[in-house]
Amino acid sequence: MTKTLGQSTQYRDRQTLLVAAVVAVQAVAAVFFVADALGDFAADGMTAHIAIEAVIAFALLAGVFIGAAHVRRLLAEARRREEALAVAKGALADHITARFADWGLTAAESDVALFALKGCDAAEIAALRGAAQGTVRAQLSQVYTKAGVTSQAGLVSLFLDDLL
């Protein structure tokens, strides 16, 4: 099966969740560790052991900050991508409508053409629209003629051409 945009968004969401979970565990660990080190310090004063613990505590805390900043970056990226995609989707939809109007497609032909662009074959379109397959075939060939192409692939490539 092909990977849809939705699936890859879910994948990225899971990645972000994973990093966030690690950051949360690290934050808890840091608080435990710092409290423990302070306890040692109160009990024994400054020792080599404490010095090492201080370095580790610093590394843990730095890890929390850097991890949190990383999560924030991942979230910001995802949001930017989402917005760019929404703009592109809107623009493409507008463009498709405009081209259909240029070609003088009827309302029914526009519907059929849109399904064809999405990759449906005549049988599927017929099922979706509750129409006879013969009707859909006739409408499709009207669409191809008006668009100046000979096949579904040709129709799709017209729009890909505009985008690339």
Partner 1 sequence: MTNAITKPRRWDPIVKLTHWGVVTAVIANAIFTEEGSGWHIWAGYGLAGLLALRLLWGLIGPAEARFTAFPPSPGRAAAHVGEIRRGDLVHRRSHNPLGALMAYAIWATLLVIVASGIAMSGPPPADPAAVKGEQSEEQAAKSDLPSFVLQTLIPPARADEDEGEEAGERAGENESDEWLEEVHEIAVNLLYVLIALHLAGVVFETRRSGREVVGSMIPGGNRRT
Binding site for partner 1 (CB under 8 A): 6, 9, 16-17, 20-21, 23-24, 27-32, 35-36, 38-40, 42-43, 64-65, 68-69, 71-72, 75-76, 79, 83, 86-87
Distances 123 to 100, 107, 114, 133 between C-alpha atoms, Å: 22, 19, 15, 6
* CB contact at 8 A, 102 and 110: no
Q: How far apart are the first and last CA of the chain?
A: 24
Integer Cα distance of 55 and 33 in angstroms: 11
- 36/102 with CB nearer partner 1: 36
- Pick the closer one to partner 1 by CB: 35 or 98: 35
At closest approach, how far in Å is the CB of 118 from partner 1?
Answer: 16
- Residue 75 or 156 having the CB closest to partner 1: 75
Shortest CB 17 distance to partner 1, Å? 5
CB of 75 to partner 1, least distance (A): 5
CA–CA separation, 142 vs 160, rounded Å?
Answer: 21
**Minimum separation from the CB atom of position 90 to partner 1 (A):** 9
Backbone torsions φ then ψ of 42, nearest 5 degrees: -60, -35
Give the nearer residue to partner 1 in terms of CB position, either 43 or 51.
Answer: 43
